A and B are shown apart, each in its own frame.
Chain A
Amino acid sequence: MDHLTELENQSVYILREAYKNFKNLAMLWSIGKDSTVLLWLARKAFLGHCPIPLVHIDTSFKIPQMIEYRDKYAQKWGLNLVVGQNKKALDEGMNHEKGRDVCCDALKTQGLLQIMEQEGYTGLILGIRRDEEGTRAKERYFSPRNKDFEWDFKDQPPELWDQFKTTFAEGTHIRIHPLLHWTELNVWEYIEREKIPIIDLYFANKEGRRYRSLGCAPCTGSIESKASNVREIIEELRDTTSSERSGRAQDQESTYAMQKLRAKGYM
């Protein structure tokens, strides 16, 4: 079995465990490559269906093509799309100039909290990977959060032999991470193999720039690149030693920005 198939089988197993063990699950779809691969894997797991609703948190600052792409494929693939937005914070003028971590917390984390409460979701499936950054490397496949979404990274459940923590005290939320063991390169190789339609913001434009990681327009930088298709991205990644999220401003805000954001419930 080749390594991509092995990764696929493991993720499918986790998705099926998630679906069987939890009611009212939602899957976060950021429109980026990881959550789009995750969606693809869900359709593999459920043999062409996606019985889990997809939640997209619209900060209103997303790059416009992302919304177009989202709506096109939601319709084409017959997805149950649920869009969440922290309208109150936006009405009060929240934006990244108030501080990046403040803005991320309000528009993303709080936006997510609101839609989860509104829809009664008790668990969330996310496409985060261990190789993205240090705090994500510490994650579990099945990771509990308290009622306020807080992550106690100091006291995490043991996870062995694919036996996951599936029983919880009342009020616990669960985060499930089926892509945890994938690398950025794996994701692109899989996109290539499966011919998954991916948003073209990842491919180099005429000015020779592309996005390596997608987020809000004001806080996501593009990189210089000649990679205009999936194959060229794979070639490019094999030679790079800069980190994937180097274009994401919130990570660089302060030394422990991501740890602080994630402890409060950030993806």
Chain B
Amino acid sequence: MGSNGHKEPQSGKQMKLVIVGHVDHGKSTLVGRLMADTDSLPTGKMDFIKDICDQQGKVFEFAFLLDALEEEQEQGITIDTSQIFFKTEKRPYVIIDAPGHKEFLKNMVTGAANAEAALLLIDAYEGVQEQSRRHGYLLRLLGMKQVAVVVNKMDLVKHDAEVFYKIKAEYTEFLNSMGVEAREYIPVSAKMGENIAHRSENMTWYQGPTVLEMLDQFEDKLPEVNQPFRLPLQDVYKFDERRILAGRVESGTAKIGDEVIFAPSNKKGTIKSIETWEVENKPTTIEASQSVGITLTEQIFVERGDVATLASDPPVITTTFDANVFWMGKKHLQKGETYLIKLATQNVECEVAKFNKAIDASTLETLPDQDFIAKNDVAELTLRTRQPITFDLFNDIAETGRFVLVDEYDVCGGGIITGFTPLSEIDKFRDEAHYRDSHWIKGAVTPDMRAYRNGHLAAMILITGKSGVGKADLAGKLEEKLFHQNFQSYLLDGRNIQVGLGADMDQDKYFTDGEAVRRFGEVAKLFVDAGHVVISTSNVFNHEDHSNISLLIEPTPIVEIQVTSDQFPKGKPEVVLTVDEAANHETAVQKVLDYLKDKKILTGHNYSI
């Protein structure tokens, strides 16, 4: 294409452009005009479209060049992001004709998210409209930095400079309120070809660039090689003797011999080789935007979703973060619902913890006290993931700072990360219990029914005290006594969880990273859910652990029996026994039973077995 006297472009790199704006403000016409004026149309295309117009009894319009689908021409609106190629002296372009119709916002987003620069059209006659603002907001949210505003249909307002300046002032104020600046405002008539490729003779008052001149001033997006190294793994291949970790470097560089740390698992490995096929010079470094395959010196288990990083620049790993989100789903984005977040190659379940600000994107007005957003709206919100997720702030590294949200089968939203809460400050047990309870599948037998049948409520009895005070003996006797009185009692020792459920873990880490408490608490939760009185004694859990276990089994009561000869017991135990009292099992057990009856935990059977 392009036998238009233009020189061959110096750079072969194509720039991806998106054209957005309100419906009928002339996007398709502008694109058609750009193609025609750069002589980028295939032979016969113009005639082909003119024939269709004749068949349909319409006057030829440049917009038809793009609207290749029958449906679109009948409705007169562009349905989808079609891509059109043209080139200037400087470089080739691909235009993504993003449509303006509200229903097709997801298509506009698809186009704009993939573009490097944007032209935003405003009809001089109609002025700034709903989607002029919505699209402006979305461009900012999508991280678009190169935006020029094109004021179209100047021929309809008699090429009046005042109309242009009024729109420019109004829209500048709107963009400024979001902290965005347009690179240029250009008055044009796409239909007449004014200030597109050729300077208009009717608007000599305008001295700025034409649309084509503006396009050539936009800069190529360069790979983020100077940013911290991030290589999210896509897959691990074992097609032959090599074990190849495959993925695309999203930012930064690394080389053979570098030690990489995989987030969030914190596993370490050394890059042994960079694998390629049919490449003349074997590379020794990898860099941003390359799809690569590497092998490691060490045999470690890593998988899709893990992100290879360098120790010098760690990413964020947490479960709770703030984001700006736009929503395209048919159903509302709601607090408490579960969604799938896809970030780089990670797929993690999440929910909206909090709507900080729901916004009507067409007016930028805040929707007060709203715990949801509807289709086409945006929000500033806090998301909480089920497992820790690895990311960067969008302003630091765009590629690992943005995500999409999937509702059931569909990608329904997208967002950028603006802030986060460090993992250490998160009450992770509270989150876990909250999440678990809201997703718990209940059987037909209710806690009340169990309590009626069992003659007692579910409860957790923790026997605490220093080592050697006789806790284990007392616990055993208590279990036995309750059992003989036909109560559902079960002795759950922390040690039993460790040797079974905890067997997969490094035994030092088992206690230091909270897994001992978490797994014990979750097993206890199942027993209390089954209506049991769970009795436990363990020297390994401290007071903080007890409050965490309590969080995990809420609302089940915890009864602490402290065996101590100190004058002042630690904390606030429900029952205090001296070491001597505890040694007399019969009276000690009776004291506990009395307490349980007094607190209506043991209610007694209503029938005889």
Q: Which residues of A contact B (CB under 8 A)?
A: 1-4, 6, 8-10, 12-13, 16-17, 19-20, 43-49, 51, 130-131, 133-135, 137-138, 140, 153-154, 156-161, 163, 165, 167-169, 181, 183, 194, 238-243, 246, 255-256, 259
CB atoms of B45 and A243 under 8 A apart? yes
15 sampled A-B residue pairs with Cβ under 8 A: A3-B12, A12-B291, A16-B246, A20-B235, A49-B237, A138-B79, A154-B71, A157-B106, A158-B414, A160-B404, A161-B399, A165-B409, A194-B278, A242-B43, A255-B52
| Complex Cα gap A74–B559 (Å) | 73
CB of A43 to closest CB in B, whole Å: 6
Give chain B residues whose Cβ lies under 8 Å from the Cβ of A131.
Answer: 83, 85
Which 4 residue pairs spanning A and B have beta carbons closest together? A134-B68, A160-B113, A158-B106, A137-B82
CB atoms of B342 and A135 under 8 A apart? no
Among B69, B85, B107, B414, contact of A183 (Cβ-Cβ < 8 Å): B85
| Complex Cα gap A137–B97 (Å) | 10
CB atoms of A49 and B240 under 8 A apart? yes
CB atoms of A47 and B83 under 8 A apart? no
CB atoms of B239 and A51 under 8 A apart? yes
Q: Is B76 an interface residue (CB 8 A)?
A: no
* Bitwise interface map of B from 241 to 285 toward A, beta carbon under 8 Å scored 1, else 0: 010101110000000000000000000000000011110000000
Known: A8-B291, A160-B414. 14 other contacts (CB 8 A): A1-B290, A10-B291, A12-B291, A20-B235, A20-B304, A134-B82, A135-B68, A138-B79, A153-B71, A157-B411, A163-B404, A165-B411, A168-B409, A259-B69
CB atoms of B44 and A242 under 8 A apart? yes
A156-B80 contact given A3-B13, A167-B409, A255-B52, CB 8 Å threshold: yes
Q: Is B14 an interface residue (CB 8 A)?
A: yes
CB atoms of B223 and A153 under 8 A apart? no
Q: Is B42 an interface residue (CB 8 A)?
A: yes
Give chain B residues whose Cβ lies under 8 Å from the Cβ of A239.
Answer: 3
Q: Which of A12, A19, A163 has the most CB of B within 10 A?
A: A163
Q: Is B293 an interface residue (CB 8 A)?
A: yes
* Bitwise interface map of B from 392 to 410 toward A, beta carbon under 8 Å scored 1, else 0: 0000000100111010111
| Complex Cα gap A84–B304 (Å) | 34
| Complex Cα gap A243–B41 (Å) | 9
CB atoms of A161 and B291 under 8 A apart? no
Q: Is B328 an interface residue (CB 8 A)?
A: yes
CB atoms of B79 and A13 under 8 A apart? no
Q: Is B55 an interface residue (CB 8 A)?
A: yes
Q: Is B109 an interface residue (CB 8 A)?
A: yes
CB atoms of B85 and A6 under 8 A apart? no
**In the complex, which residue of chain B has the Cβ closest to the Cβ of A15?**
B291
CB of B417 to closest CB in A, whole Å: 12
Give chain A residues whose Cβ lies under 8 Å from the Cβ of B142.
Answer: 160
CB atoms of B81 and A44 under 8 A apart? no
| Complex Cα gap A20–B404 (Å) | 18
CB of B55 to closest CB in A, whole Å: 7
| Complex Cα gap A9–B250 (Å) | 12
CB atoms of A157 and B410 under 8 A apart? yes
Among B84, B235, B275, B278, contact of A19 (Cβ-Cβ < 8 Å): B235
CB atoms of A46 and B70 under 8 A apart? no
| Complex Cα gap A240–B1 (Å) | 5
- Size bin of chain B's contact surface: 35 or more
**In the complex, which residue of chain B has the Cβ closest to the Cβ of A9?**
B291
Q: Is B603 an interface residue (CB 8 A)?
A: no
A243-B43 contact given A12-B291, A47-B293, CB 8 Å threshold: yes
Give chain A residues whose Cβ lies under 8 Å from the Cβ of B84.
Answer: 137
**In the complex, which residue of chain B has the Cβ closest to the Cβ of A158?**
B106
Q: Is B110 an interface residue (CB 8 A)?
A: yes
CB of A5 to closest CB in B, whole Å: 8
**In the complex, which residue of chain B has the Cβ closest to the Cβ of A163?**
B404
A161-B113 contact given A16-B234, A46-B237, A241-B1, CB 8 Å threshold: yes
CB atoms of B278 and A43 under 8 A apart? yes
Q: Which of B289, B340, B411 has the most CB of A within 10 A?
A: B411
Give chain B residues whose Cβ lies under 8 Å from the Cβ of A255.
Answer: 51-52, 55, 70
Q: Which of A48, A154, A160, A256 has the most CB of B within 10 A?
A: A160
* Bitwise interface map of B from 43 to 57 toward A, beta carbon under 8 Å scored 1, else 0: 111000001100100
CB of B56 to closest CB in A, whole Å: 9
Give chain A residues whose Cβ lies under 8 Å from the Cβ of B408.
Answer: 167
CB atoms of B83 and A158 under 8 A apart? no
CB of A164 to closest CB in B, whole Å: 8
Q: Is B542 an interface residue (CB 8 A)?
A: no
| Complex Cα gap A42–B342 (Å) | 24
CB of A123 to closest CB in B, whole Å: 15
Give chain B residues whose Cβ lies under 8 Å from the Cβ of A45.
Answer: 246, 291
Give chain B residues whose Cβ lies under 8 Å from the Cβ of A246.
Answer: 42, 44
Q: Is B114 an interface residue (CB 8 A)?
A: yes
A160-B69 contact given A9-B289, A16-B235, A255-B52, CB 8 Å threshold: no
**In the complex, which residue of chain A has the Cβ closest to the Cβ of B45?**
A243
| Complex Cα gap A130–B81 (Å) | 10
Give chain A residues whose Cβ lies under 8 Å from the Cβ of B94.
Answer: 181
**In the complex, which residue of chain B has the Cβ closest to the Cβ of A19?**
B235
Q: Is B173 an interface residue (CB 8 A)?
A: no
Give chain A residues whose Cβ lies under 8 Å from the Cβ of B55.
Answer: 255
**In the complex, which residue of chain B has the Cβ closest to the Cβ of A169?**
B409
Among B2, B81, B109, B114, contact of A138 (Cβ-Cβ < 8 Å): B81
CB of B389 to closest CB in A, whole Å: 14
